[in-house]
Structure 1
Amino acid sequence: MKQNKKLGQCFLKDKNIVKKAVDAANVNKNDIVLEIGLGKGILTKELAKNAKKVYVIELDKRLEPFAEEVIAEHPNVDVIWNDALKVNLNELNFNKIVANLPYQISSPITFKFLKTDFEVAVLMYQYEFAKRMVAKEGTKEYGRLSVSVQYNANVEFICKVPPSAFSPKPKVDSAIVRITKKEPNELFHLEDEEFFEKVVRALFQHKNKTAKKALINSSHEIGLNRDELKDILNNLSEFDLNERVFKLNIKKIVELSNLIYKLTHKK
């Protein structure tokens, strides 16, 4: 069967990598696991052997023969034929996610996951994307993705995965990343989550500039005109706005977002 290039299909075939992913999620008989993308079922079978139940969301109906084979062997597998970006994940009662993600939906599906109530996710990404997810402030990979993911979760780089682990071989290296959702008491207090996302977007459009310049240049992102924002920033004596954006840690960005929010949403 020819893989569907439009769906970004690269099927995992290396059993050692499969085992590494399942082990990294510490899958056991109490777990209900979500997988995105069935492939030929190699990861699904390993998950089903270890978990209580496995939900697999798959868009490509041509993979039905593989689904039938998996279900015949493991009746605790439930395949949902749909687009993962359109499925209401909150209706599925899973506590772990393990998946070799279609790389072109890496960003939207990750943010969709972060809005659900999972414990741990072990996910395969393109290597460059994975590096950006785990990047710390002050490094060149650090950006909007790093901040948005790490605000919500602890992210660990598990291992690099060579193209030879897949069929067909992708043109890039991949990586396994473990995401552990933070408990509510571990999160920095945010005045407004949507506003925070706008501030992060505004800042990282100009990550090498100072925080002040970046915000003024992207004032439209936070729904303010330049002069209005300039006035607000000039009154933020308690915050060092001359620090370059890529050097600001998450706590600092949260603090900045909260300060601007309070000044722009005074009752």
Structure 2
Amino acid sequence: MFKPKKKLGQCFLIDKNFVNKAVESANLTKDDIVLEIGLGKGILTEELAKHAKKVYVIEIDKSLESYANKLKENYNNIEIIWNDALKVDLNTLDFNKVIANLPYQISSPITFKLIKKGFDLAVLMYQYEFAKRMVAKEGTKDYGRLSVAVQSRADVEFITKVPPTAFHPKPKIHSALIKIKLNKNKYQIENEIFFDNFLRAVFQHRNKSVRKALIDSSKELGYSKEEMKKILIKFSEKEKIGSLIENKVFKLSVGEFVFLSNELYRFLHLHDDK
């Protein structure tokens, strides 16, 4: 009898109601090629195989092979990739939708890896607290770096909260289904690496003003505190900038973060005082 491995974060979705909810939310057609991360006992995989043209499943645990073999006996549109999802080159797979009960310990890195690769639609299961941060709006207690990093690249929608009883073994926390659709034309991020470093810097001090946060975490952008102070004196003279950087970090909208990051990136490249 298979025993779920705690070190791999294995909590298998067993409630068919939430399996069906995930599949319905993805609006699957026979033209869709789906990526699933984590095979589990194949309950979700089977539903995906019924509705989609093809299903890729990335699974790290070879001891689940008996479940995979049983599925492949009944469906010829399933391909299992025995590997760590964080190590797989997703560009070699031609999927357009992602539906998965993600291992929670890789929620953040796998989400951004998927966003970087691109897809039409994703329906993903997350830890409830993580999901709340993904969809949070400015000015709320859950709003943070994750909220802005995701929402600047994708539209995220909370589908439903999922109780521990929907899984085996039962986790100690609630989960949630989230729908993600990329919004590439909504915000134009000048430089992705700088933007992520900018967010890391300011959200280390979410209750301070943007100005103070940038000074206190100036090393994230490669500057000393004194250098950043001088930079911000000149930078704040620009139109719209002065008032924005005096706001508290958690009160700025996603669009304002993209605007500030872009403006600061351009400014630093034109006026490098280092």
Q: Give the alignment's TM-score, normalised by structure 2.
A: 0.95
Task: State whether residues 131 and 141 of structure 1, in contact with CA within 8 Å, keep that contact through their aligned partners in structure 2.
Answer: yes
> Which residue in the other structure is 1:37 paired with?
38
Question: 1:135 deviation in Å?
Answer: 0.4
Per-residue Cα deviation, 1:61-93 (whole angstroms, up to 9, x for no partner): 000000001111111000000000000001100
> Which residue in the other structure is 2:50 paired with?
49
Identical aligned residues as a percent: 61
Structure 1 stretch displaced more, 217-226 or 257-266? 257-266
Matches of 1:262 and 1:123 in 2, distance apart? 35
Matches of 2:125 and 2:153 in 1, distance apart? 19
Matches of 2:231 and 2:22 in 1, distance apart? 47
Per-residue Cα deviation, 1:87-108 (whole angstroms, up to 9, x for no partner): 0001100000000000000011
> Which residue in the other structure is 2:155 paired with?
154
Structure 1 stretch displaced more, 229-238 or 217-226? 229-238
Matches of 1:90 and 1:121 in 2, distance apart? 16
Question: 1:117 deviation in Å?
Answer: 2.0
Question: 1:225 deviation in Å?
Answer: 1.4
SS of the equivalent of 1:209 reads: coil
Q: 1:245 aligns with which of 245, 249, 252?
A: 249
SS of the equivalent of 2:99 reads: strand
Q: What are the equivalent positions in structure 2 for 1:65-76 lying under 5 Å apart?
A: 65-76=66-77
Q: What are the equivalent positions in structure 2 for 1:173-192 lying under 5 Å apart?
A: 173-182=174-183, 184-186=184-186, 188-192=187-191
Question: 1:24 deviation in Å?
Answer: 0.5
Matches of 2:262 and 2:180 in 1, distance apart? 26
Question: 1:15 deviation in Å?
Answer: 0.4
Cα RMSD (Å): 0.9
Question: 1:185 deviation in Å?
Answer: 2.6
Q: 1:262 aligns with which of 258, 263, 266?
A: 266
> Which residue in the other structure is 2:167 paired with?
166
Task: State whether residues 27 and 50 of structure 1, in contact with CA within 8 Å, keep that contact through their aligned partners in structure 2.
Answer: yes
> Which residue in the other structure is 1:225 paired with?
224
> Which residue in the other structure is 1:116 paired with?
117
SS of the equivalent of 2:29 reads: coil
Aligned length: 265
For residue 248 of structure 2, what is the amino acid of its counterpart? R
Matches of 1:255 and 1:234 in 2, distance apart? 18
Q: Give the alignment's TM-score, normalised by structure 1.
A: 0.97
Matches of 2:204 and 2:185 in 1, distance apart? 30
Q: What are the equivalent positions in structure 2 for 1:12-31 lying under 5 Å apart?
A: 12-31=13-32
Per-residue Cα deviation, 1:209-239 (whole angstroms, up to 9, x for no partner): 1111111000000111112211121121331
Question: 1:251 deviation in Å?
Answer: 1.1
Structure 1 stretch displaced more, 68-77 or 230-239? 230-239
> Which residue in the other structure is 2:104 paired with?
103
Question: 1:191 deviation in Å?
Answer: 2.3
Per-residue Cα deviation, 1:173-195 (whole angstroms, up to 9, x for no partner): 0000000011x332x22221111
Task: State whether residues 232 and 260 of structure 1, in contact with CA within 8 Å, keep that contact through their aligned partners in structure 2.
Answer: no
Matches of 2:80 and 2:131 in 1, distance apart? 27
> Which residue in the other structure is 1:85 paired with?
86
Task: State whether residues 35 and 44 of structure 1, in contact with CA within 8 Å, keep that contact through their aligned partners in structure 2.
Answer: yes
> Which residue in the other structure is 2:198 paired with?
199
For residue 263 of structure 1, what is the amino acid of its counterpart? F
> Which residue in the other structure is 1:136 paired with?
137
